[in-house]
Chains A and B, each alone.
Chain A
Amino acid sequence: MTAVKKLGLPLGILLILAWCLLPVVWIISLSLKSEESITAGNPGFLPAEGTFVGWENYEKVLTDPLYDYFPRAILNSIGISLIATLLSVIVATLAAYAIARLEFRGKRLVLSISLAIAMFPVVSLVGPLFDMWRAFGIYDTWPGLIIPYMSFTLPLAIWTLSAFFREIPWELEQAAQVDGATSWQAFRKVIVPLAAPGVFTAAILTFFFAWNDFVFGISLTSTEAARPIPASLAFFVGSDPFNRPASLLAAAAVLATIPIIVIVLIFQRKIVAGLTSGAVKG
């Protein structure tokens, strides 16, 4: 029994690590194999002798004119995700402050609306949005994606932030008000600095959503003008349109994943706190 106990935990840890990393290692391994070896059929997990090509696929994806749309998609994704994150977090901060701190009529309604939106089937909206965005002239543009990303990340951002805001010692704000500050001044000067870590967490989660989105990305864009990375990967074709260039696609996928991995590595503590507080306490 004690032996089982002693071995159980390390074994569990190893299993979790294998689970999380296996497909990541696999796609990296795929991206280092030569295109020819893939089309010829090359089963096996790691690149073998003769099929290993180093950085060649990465160079091709980033510099070959044939794949011009991919660097462009990276640019689109970074720009659209960052702008959507920034705007969404500003709007969510205001709303979450009001929800955590103020008594006002319609509070329940706001919470119900955001809960409903979190459950909303995104695909239900692409038809009417497709039609509306073309009428407004923002189909296939950055704003055409930023607006849906903002509204779909608001619920999560509002929950995460109001969970954080509830834990702030609000006496500080009252003290500021006693000293003659208005509600708005007290909010801005005292609470905003204390809330900054929560805001940051909400920002990371929002960025994840925007970076990951696929449905809006493929339905509301038609050219490389606004097509983000996930959509661009789905339409990835090489010199032969009938055969997906697996190793090049893998290289592109790895490139698309690097920013997310970097964010995870740096901010893992905050992400866990945000995910659980937003979902469980909200």
Chain B
Amino acid sequence: MTGAHVATAPTGGAVDSDRTRAENSLGRRLVLPAVVLMLLVTAFPMLRAIWLSTFDYSLTAPDERSFVGLSNYWTALTDDLFWQTTGITVFYMVFTVAVELVIGFAFAMVMHRVIFARGVVRTSILIPYGIITVVSGFAWQFAFSSTNGFVNGWLPFIGDDFNWFGESMPAIVAICVSEIWKTTPFMSLLLLAGLAQVSEDMLEAAKVDGATWWQRLFKVILPNMRAAIMVAVLFRALDAYRIFDNIFVMTNGAQDTASISFLTYRQTIEQFQLGLGSALSVLLFLSVLLVAYLIVKLFRVDLAAARQEG
């Protein structure tokens, strides 16, 4: 079909159109395996999830499967637990990304200036990135433990027998610490790449003009690396919204620490409620899309405003 279209193109001659046609078909053949694989594991199961979500279907009673329309969605959306886990998930996302942005930027500034110990610093910053999230979860869970951890001993304003996992907020903080520890290096590497694109000449000029350190930071450095910041925030926010591993390991969802991913996992895999679980899967997917849309939108507005300003 495409070939015929290309062949009848008025300009370019026979050689060119042959080439275009060959390029078209070669290109498609080369990307085909990747596309098939990606769709096999995402699009197809997602369609299946949408279909399953219209059934009352429990794996413990597979013969009693019955079509219920949208009632699973109704059940989920009118349940307090759903909204509570969604709220907590948003909190995890906003809190961890905000902290990571500040610390990650500070790390990137240091790494940008480091000359003599560059290799050592860059190697160490990759260690948290490489470590399995589950291992990081355990390390921090034991660290926060009141019986054999060190955190209580190191924090003077907290009693030695304080139980971090006995209440909701402290448990959430402990989970966030593990998450932030593990992913800040990723953020700082992306910001470091953005920092490298800020022109040194402009910084020098600002310095000569008498700009203070803070002025240079907010008027020169940050505006010039807006794209890198946007990418880093988008990637990390979407990742943080899917938080699961640390919660599973550190609290197993106790003390109201469950995220929406955790709730979905629990319904589907632990309680075998494939119908309701699938409805939650679809809602989780839609909410990730919404978050992605909002972040992109937010930054775009920001970008436009900044451009007018400058």
What is the interface of chain A, defined by CB distance below 8 A to chain B? 9, 12-13, 15-17, 19-21, 23-24, 26-27, 30, 38, 41-45, 91-92, 94-95, 97-99, 102-107, 110, 113-114, 116-117, 119-132, 147-148, 150-152, 154-155, 158, 183-184, 208, 211-212, 214-215, 218-219, 229-230, 233-234, 246, 249-250, 253, 256-257, 260-261, 263-265, 268-269, 271-272, 275-276, 279-280
CA distance A126 to B42 in the complex (A): 10
Assuming the A-B contacts A43-B148, A95-B34, A125-B46, are A120 and B285 also in contact, with contact meaning beta carbons closer than 8 angstroms in the complex? yes
- Residues A95 and B228 in contact, CB atoms below 8 Å apart: no
Bound CA span A230–B134, Å: 6
Closest to A30 in B: B142
B268 and A127 contacting across the interface, CB-CB below 8 Å: yes
Residue contact A121 to B242, C-beta cutoff 8 Å: yes
Cβ–Cβ contact B190 & A98, under 8 A = no
User: Which residues of B are at the interface with A, using a C-beta cutoff of 8 A?
Assistant: 2, 20, 22-28, 30-31, 33-35, 37-42, 44-46, 48-49, 52, 106-107, 109-111, 113-114, 117, 119-136, 138-140, 142-143, 145, 147-150, 152-153, 160, 181, 184-186, 189-190, 192-194, 227-228, 231-232, 235, 238, 241-242, 244-245, 248-249, 261-262, 264-265, 268-269, 274, 277-278, 281-282, 284-285, 288-289, 292
With A98-B31, A131-B48 known as contacts, the answer to whether A119 contacts B231 (CB < 8 A) is: no
Q: Known contacts A27-B138, A154-B38; decide if A16 and B107 are in contact (CB<8 Å).
A: yes
Known: A44-B150, A124-B46, A230-B133. Is A250-B142 also a contact (CB below 8 A)?
yes
Is the pair B150, A128 in contact by a Cβ cutoff of 8 Å?
no
Pick the contact of A42 from B119, B132, B148, B282 — CB < 8 Å? Answer: B148
Contact of A23 among B20, B139, B190, B194 (CB under 8 A): B139
The answer for the CA separation of A113 and B33 in the assembled complex, in Å, is: 13
Inter-subunit contact A45/B110 (CB<8 Å): no
Q: How far is the CA of A110 from the CA of B46 in the complex (A)?
A: 18
